[in-house]
Amino acid sequence: MSSDDTTWPDTSDITSLTPDNDPNLPLKKLGFLTIGTFDPADPATGIAATLDMISLGEDLGFDSAWLRNRHMQYGITSPMTVIAAASQRTSRINFGTAVTPLGPENPLRLAEDMATVDLLTGGRLNPGVSVGTPFRYDGWKDALYPDTAGAEDFSKRRVSRLVENLRGDEVGNFPAIENTEDFANVVQPHSPGLVNRLWYGSGSRGSTQWTAENGLNLLSSSVITAEVSDNFDVNQRSQFDLYRSHYADVLGGTPRISQGLVVIPTDHATDDQKARYQAYVDHRKAVGVGRIQAFGPKNMITAPDLIGSSDEIAEQLINLAAFRAVEEVAFALPFDFEPDDYTQILTDIAGGLAPKLGWTPRA
- Domain ranges in the chain are 29-142+152-171+186-356
| 343: pLDDT strictly greater than 90 | yes
DSSP-derived 3-state class of residue 181: coil
| Lowest-pLDDT range of 23-27, 88-92, 219-223 | 23-27
Look at the pTM and tell me if it is higher than 0.85.
yes
CA 334 to chain CA centroid, nearest Å: 14
The model's pLDDT over 116-166, given as tens digits with 9 standing for 90+, comes to 999 999 999 999 999 999 999 999 999 999 999 999 999 999 999 999 999
Run of H or E including 216: none
Taking the C-alpha atoms of residue 291 and residue 300, their distance in angstroms, rounded to an integer, is 9
| 216: pLDDT strictly greater than 50 | yes
Position 114 scores a pLDDT of: 98
**What rounded mean pLDDT belongs to the chain?**
92
Task: Report the largest interatomic distance among the alpha carbons of the chain, rounded to a whole angstrom.
Answer: 75
To the nearest 10 degrees (0 to 180), the angle between helices 79-87 and 107-121 is 10
Cβ contact 310:348 at 8 Å = yes
Question: In the structure, what pLDDT confidence band is assigned to residue 7 with cuts at 50, 70 and 90?
Answer: very low
Cβ contact 226:235 at 8 Å = yes
| 231-241 as b/e: b if 16+ CB within 10 A | bbbbbbbbbbb
Question: In the structure, what pLDDT confidence band is assigned to residue 293 with cuts at 50, 70 and 90?
Answer: confident
| 303: pLDDT strictly greater than 90 | yes
CB atoms within 10 A of CB 331: 26
Query: Closest Cα to residue 193, out of 217, 166, 213?
Result: 166
Taking the C-alpha atoms of residue 210 and residue 205, their distance in angstroms, rounded to an integer, is 9
Pick the CATH number of 29-142+152-171+186-356 from 3.20.20.30, 3.40.50.720, 3.40.50.300, 1.10.150.20: 3.20.20.30
DSSP-derived 3-state class of residue 298: coil
Position 8 scores a pLDDT of: 33
Taking the C-alpha atoms of residue 6 and residue 9, their distance in angstroms, rounded to an integer, is 10
Cβ contact 211:202 at 8 Å = yes
List Cα–Cα distances, 160 to 148, 166, 198, 309, in angstroms: 20, 10, 11, 43
Run of H or E including 271: helix 271-286
Position 4 scores a pLDDT of: 34
Cβ contact 200:216 at 8 Å = yes
